[in-house]
């Protein structure tokens, strides 16, 4: 009885070869990609605009902080 329990341990997945498992993986990936709700062109443009604006603001903030530290170091070390 114990030996039968060990044989069924892998289940259906344990009996498949590596190519069958890869095929199953790719079929599952394609099935999941079909469930994805892709954004429309206008949504994509607005998302892109928001990201570019955010990056520009962050570049400005980092530039001002860097300039401030540069001036501070120049003042401290002459």
Give pLDDT tens digits for 50-59. Answer: 999 999 999 9
Rounded to an integer, the average pLDDT of 67-78 is 94
In a domain, 28, yes or no: no
Q: For the residues 49-69, what does the mean pLDDT come to?
A: 98
Residue 61 lies in a domain: yes
Q: Please provide the DSSP assignment of 28-62 as one string.
A: HHHHHHHH--PPPHHHHHHHHHHHHHHHHHHHHHH
Do the domain assignments include residue 23?
A: no
Quote the pLDDT of residue 77: 92
Decide if 22 is inside a domain: no
Residue 9 domain flag: no
4-41 residue pLDDT tens? 555 555 555 557 788 999 999 999 999 999 999 999 99
Specify if 4 maps to a domain: no
29 lies in a domain? no
Q: Which domain holds residue 70?
A: 39-78
Count of structural domains within the chain: 1
Tell whether 43 is covered by a domain: yes
pLDDT at 6: 54
């Amino acid at each position: 009885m114990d030996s039968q329990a060990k044989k069924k341990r892998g289940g259906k997945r344990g009996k498949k070869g590596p190519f069958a498992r890869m095929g199953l993986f790719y079929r599952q990936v394609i099935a999941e990609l079909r469930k994805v709700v892709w954004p429309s062109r206008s949504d994509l443009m607005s998302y892109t605009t928001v990201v570019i604006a955010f990056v520009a603001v962050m570049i400005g903030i980092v530039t001002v902080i860097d300039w401030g530290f540069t001036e501070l170091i120049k003042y401290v070390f002459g």
